[in-house]
């Protein structure tokens, strides 16, 4: 089975729109189903996976197509042609939510930062990078806030982080872990810098989103992002925190 697709461009506005779309928990379930299916899926399949009506599934699917997170086409097969319109199908689209630079320049950006620090920029460069990450995170969070309600909870935070590629998952009632570090290829070269950027980015995101009951904490774990998100309460274990 093949799929005829429509292409979308990748730009910063599209990235912010995509992140804000994934705040909605139902839309996020639909998106995850399509992304993990590894094949084009129909509206009926998406509806069944999310436990919603076909019409509501179609609405969410088409919104995701508009943002470039999915792409749509018509189901085709190698068999004899059938009468009538072929079902509309969906698969992951070309847009990935990222920060300021095009996806292919992440390695270049990391190399420049690491080289500058090695040349003596050190703490000043690291501080500027973390501050920039915090500002960018705040912008992403603020863009998503309109759809999150006055008191965004873990689901809203999870949706934005999902859009940024962190792959969040609950690790207990009050902790959200991040299974993926979007900057992982560069973490080995400058772990303190990359972890600081992640911490600043997520702390800024929480502030922009208005998730005041949550905090970003440095809590490294092998194979995952070095940051986790905790819901309020007293400090735990002396981990480094980013207040917001």
Determine contact, residues 5/71, Cβ cutoff 8 Å: yes
Our CA dihedral for 148, 214, 208, 183, rounded to 10 degrees, sits at -110
pLDDT surpasses 90 at 199: yes
Strand partners, 183: none
In the beta sheet, which residues pair with residue 168? 178
- Do β-strands 168-170 and 175-178 pair in parallel, antiparallel, or remain unpaired? antiparallel
Do residues 216 and 203 lie in contact, with contact meaning Cβ atoms separated by under 8 Å?
yes
- Residue 69 token pair: 């997170």
Helix (H) or strand (E) holding 210: none
Q: Which CATH architecture has domain 12-92?
A: Orthogonal Bundle (1.10)
Q: Where in the chain is the domain with CATH 3.30.1380?
A: 103-242
Residue 227: the pLDDT is 95
| Three-state secondary structure call for residue 215 | strand
HSE-up of residue 92 (Cα within 13 Å, Cβ side): 13
CB 194 within 8 A of CB 225: no
Segments of the chain assigned to CATH 1.10.10.10: 12-92
Instruction: Tell me if 110 sits within 8 A of 129, measured CB to CB.
Output: no
18-38: pLDDT as tens digits? 667 777 878 888 988 888 777
SS3 67: coil
Q: Residues 6 or more apart from 146 whose CB is under 8 A from it? A: 20
Cα–Cα distance for residue pair 189/172, rounded to 1 Å: 31
Mean pLDDT of 118-133: 74
Q: Write out the DSSP string of 121-134.
A: IHHHHHHHHHHHHH
Asked if residue 115 lies in contact with residue 182, where contact means CB atoms within 8 angstroms, the answer is: no
Nearest one of 144, 108, 103 to 9, comparing CA atoms: 103
The pLDDT value recorded for residue 207 is: 93
Q: Which residue has the higher pLDDT, 83 or 41?
A: 41
Please answer whether residues 110 and 190 qualify as being in contact, where contact means their C-beta atoms are separated by less than 8 angstroms. yes
**CATH for the 103-242 domain, from 3.20.20, 1.10.287, 1.10.3210, 3.30.1380:** 3.30.1380
The tens digit of pLDDT for each residue in 147-156 reads 666 666 677 8
pLDDT at 237: 42
Residue whose entry in the numeric block shows the structure tokens 């194979």: 223
The percentage of residues in the chain with a pLDDT greater than 90, rounded to a whole number, is 25
């Amino acid at each position: 089975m093949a799929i005829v697709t429509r292409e979308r461009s990748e730009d910063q506005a599209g990235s912010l729109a995509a992140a804000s779309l994934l705040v909605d928990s139902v839309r996020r379930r639909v998106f995850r189903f399509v992304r993990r299916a590894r094949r084009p899926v129909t509206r009926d399949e998406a509806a069944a996976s999310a436990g919603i009506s076909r019409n509501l599934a179609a609405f969410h699917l088409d919104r995701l197509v508009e943002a470039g997170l999915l792409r749509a086409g018509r189901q085709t097969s190698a068999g004899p042609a059938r009468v009538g319109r072929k079902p509309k199908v969906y698969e992951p689209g070309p847009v990935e939510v990222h920060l300021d630079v095009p996806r292919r320049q992440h390695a270049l950006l990391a190399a420049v930062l690491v080289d500058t620090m090695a040349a003596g920029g050190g703490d000043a460069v690291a501080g500027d990078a973390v501050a920039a990450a915090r500002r960018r995170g705040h912008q992403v969070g603020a863009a998503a806030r309109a759809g999150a309600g006055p008191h965004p909870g873990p689901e809203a935070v999870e949706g934005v982080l999902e859009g940024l590629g962190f792959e969040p998952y609950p690790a207990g009632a009050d902790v959200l872990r991040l299974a993926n570090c979007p900057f992982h290829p560069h973490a080995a070269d400058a772990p303190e810098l990359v972890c600081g950027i992640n911490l600043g980015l997520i702390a800024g995101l929480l502030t922009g989103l208005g998730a005041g009951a949550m905090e970003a904490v440095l809590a490294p774990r092998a194979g995952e992002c070095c940051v986790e998100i905790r819901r309020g309460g007293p400090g735990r274990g002396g981990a480094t925190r980013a207040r917001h």
